[in-house]
Amino acid sequence: MSKRIIVDYTNCMDTTLKLNGISKKKLSDLGSALQQAQKEVNHKKQAGQLGFMELPYKTSEAKDIMKLATRLKGKYDNFVVLGIGGSALGNICLQNSINHLYYNLLPKNKRRGFPRIFVLDNVDADMVKGLMDVIDVKKTLFNVITKSGTTSETMSQYFIFRKELEKRLGQKYRRNIIATTDIDKGYLRELADKERYTTLVVPKNVGGRFSVLSPVGLLSAAFGGIDIEQLLAGARYMDSLCQTNNMSKNPAMIYAALQYLMYKQGKTISVMMPYAQHLKEFADWYAQLWAESLGKAVNNKGKRVNVGPTPVKTLGATDQHSQVQLYMEGPFDKVVTILSVEKLAATLTIPSYNTHFLGGQTMNKLLLTEEKATTMALAQNNRPNLTITLPEINEFNLGQMIYLFELATAYMGELLEINTFDQPGVELGKILTYALMGRPGFEKKRKEIEKQLRKKGKFIV
C-alpha cells in the first residue's frame, strides 16, 4: 500500500466551480510569495525558533520515552493527562486516531496490558469528580503537563489529584506523578524539582499547539501502546516531501496557498471534515492549531489587521444531517477540507433483508460514497472543497498529517504576515483569571477589573 497522502484540490479550481473557483494563474501568481514564506520559515528554523520542525528527528528522546513506558507497563491501571489546550488536544488526537475507539472499555488483555488513558482538558468539577468515580488513584499514573508551569486549569487539576494521592499513598504519592514542563522555568518546574518527580521537558522553542510530537504528546501515546517512533518517521517523511519549493509538489505549500486565496476572497471559515470516526479529534487538534496560530490583532509591522480564518470541526457522515445544509446553501464563506481514508481497519457488510438495496454492500462503501456525494454536491453548488486522502490510519500516516498541517500553518502565517507562534489573546484570559482568583502579584489588575465591573450597567432578563 502506498504511504503517500494525496491532496486533491480539483474542487477548488475554476475549471470545476462556475463561481468561487481559483484560476491556475492566481495560484501560480502566489508562487513567489509562498517561496518567500518557505524561506522565512526555514530561516526561523535555522535560527532555532521553530522547534516543532526538529521534533521528528529527536529519535533518541522517543526511544527514552518508550523505555520509560515499557518499564512502568503493568504497574498502573490508568494513565491520566492533566493539561489543557496544546497540552491536551494532541494527546486526545493521538489516542483516538490510533487506538480502538472504545479503548478504555476493552479488558486489559485486549489493551495488550497497557493502561486506560484519560485526558482531562477542562476544569469542570463534574468531569473531574466523575473521573475519580471510575479510577482508583492508587493505581493511576498522572502526567501533569504545562509548558508555562502556571496554567490555572492544569494546576487546579494537579492539586486536586495530588491531595487524593497523598491521602491514599502518603509520601509515596510521588511515584504516581510525572511532570512535563519547561527545563528551568515556572511553578511546576520548581515544585517538580522540590518533590523529586520524574520529569520530561517541553523544549523552549516548541509552543503548546505545536508540541504533540514532543514529550507532551509522546508519553501518553507510548503508555497507550502507540508506536511513537513510527509517528516521528511519518513526520520526517512529510518533511522530506515539503523540501521542494515547487508548490504543486509540496502538500503543505498547496494547502496554505488554497486556504490563503480562499480567505482573501471571503471564504473566512475553514471547515475540517474527516470521514472517519478515528479522525474526529484530529479536527479538534487542527481547530486549535489554526485558530490560535492565525487569529491575530496585529501584523508583523505592528499594524492592526484582525486577521484569521475561523476553523470549524465537523464529522462525516454525522454532520451531513446537521451542518451540511448550511455549507450547501448558506453564505459563500467556507472552504471545506475533507479527510478521506481509503481503507478503514474494519470492514462490515450490511446484511440483506427484503431485497433492500443496501443489503450485501459494505458500510465502508456507504461512508466513502457519502463522502464522494458530499464533495460533488458542494462543488455543484460552487462550494470550494478539497480532499486529503490517507491510504489508512496508522502511526506513520498520522505523523505525516500532523507535520503537514503544522508546516501549512507556519506558511499561512507568513502569507498573512503575522506571528504564528504567539497567543496574546490566550495570555490575556490567563492574566484576568489569575487576578480574579487572587494570585499574588496581580492585585492591581484585580482592582482594575473590579472597578470596571462596578461601573458597567447590567442587562439581565
Residues forming the site for ligand PA5 (CB under 6 A): 84-87, 146-148, 151, 154, 207-209, 292, 423, 426
From 45, 138, 372, 430, the catalytic residue: 430
Active site residue: 292, 371, 406, 414, which one? Answer: 292
Q: Closest distance between ligand PA5 and the C-beta of residue 83, in Å?
A: 6
Q: Which is nearer to ligand PA5, 213 or 378 (CB)?
A: 213
Return the number of the residue (360 or 429) whose C-beta is nearest ligand PA5: 429
User: Which C-beta is closer to ligand PA5: that of 12 or that of 155?
Assistant: 155
Would you say 211 or 385 has its CB closer to ligand PA5?
Answer: 211
Residue nearest to ligand PA5 (CB): 208
Annotated catalytic residue: which of 25, 194, 301, 321? 321
Angle at 394 between CA 9 and CA 256, to 5 degrees: 30
DSSP-assigned letter for residue 115: P
In the bound state with ligand PA5, the residue whose beta carbon lies nearer, of 116 and 209, is: 209
Rounded Cα gap, residues 18 and 250, in angstroms: 26
Cα-atom radius of gyration of the chain, to the nearest Å?
23
Residue 189 or 334: which CB sits closer to ligand PA5? 189
Contact 404, 13 (CB under 8 A): no
Torsion over CA: 88, 94, 318, 324 (sign): positive
In whole angstroms, the minimum distance from the beta carbon of 306 to ligand PA5 comes to: 20
Greatest alpha-carbon span in the chain: 74
The Cα-based distances of 149 to 233, 266, 390, 440 in angstroms read 30, 39, 36, 16
Identify whether 414 is a catalytic site residue: no
CB under 8 A, 24+ apart: contacts of 59-65: 59/229, 59/232, 61/215, 61/218, 62/218, 62/228, 62/229, 62/232, 63/229, 65/200, 65/215, 65/218, 65/219, 65/222, 65/228
Q: Which helix (H) or strand (E) holds 337?
A: strand 334-343
Q: Which is nearer to ligand PA5, 95 or 293 (CB)?
A: 293
* E strand or H helix at 177: strand 177-181
Task: With beta carbons less than 8 A apart as the criterion, state whether 373 and 345 touch.
Answer: no
Q: Which of 82, 243, 224 is nearest to 164 (CA)?
A: 82
**Closest distance to ligand PA5 from the beta carbon of 82 (Å):** 10
We find the least distance from the C-beta atom of residue 261 to ligand PA5, in angstroms, to be 26
> 291: helix, coil or strand?
helix
292 versus 414: smaller Cβ distance to ligand PA5: 292
Question: In the bound complex, what is the minimum distance in angstroms from residue 290's beta carbon to ligand PA5?
Answer: 12
Minimum CB separation from ligand PA5 for residue 86, in Å? 3
Query: CA–CA separation, 275 vs 255, rounded Å?
Result: 18
Residue 384 gets which letter from DSSP?
-
Tell me the three cell numbers of residue 161: 489529584
Please state, in angstroms and rounded to a whole number, the distance separating the CA atoms of residues 322 and 294. 27
> Would you call 321 a catalytic residue per the annotation?
yes
Tell the smallest beta-carbon distance from residue 144 to ligand PA5 (Å): 10
Length of the chain measured in residues = 461
User: How far is it, in rounded angstroms, from Cα 283 to Cα 210?
Assistant: 15
CB of 339 to ligand PA5, least distance (A): 22
> Catalytic residues, which ones?
292, 321, 430
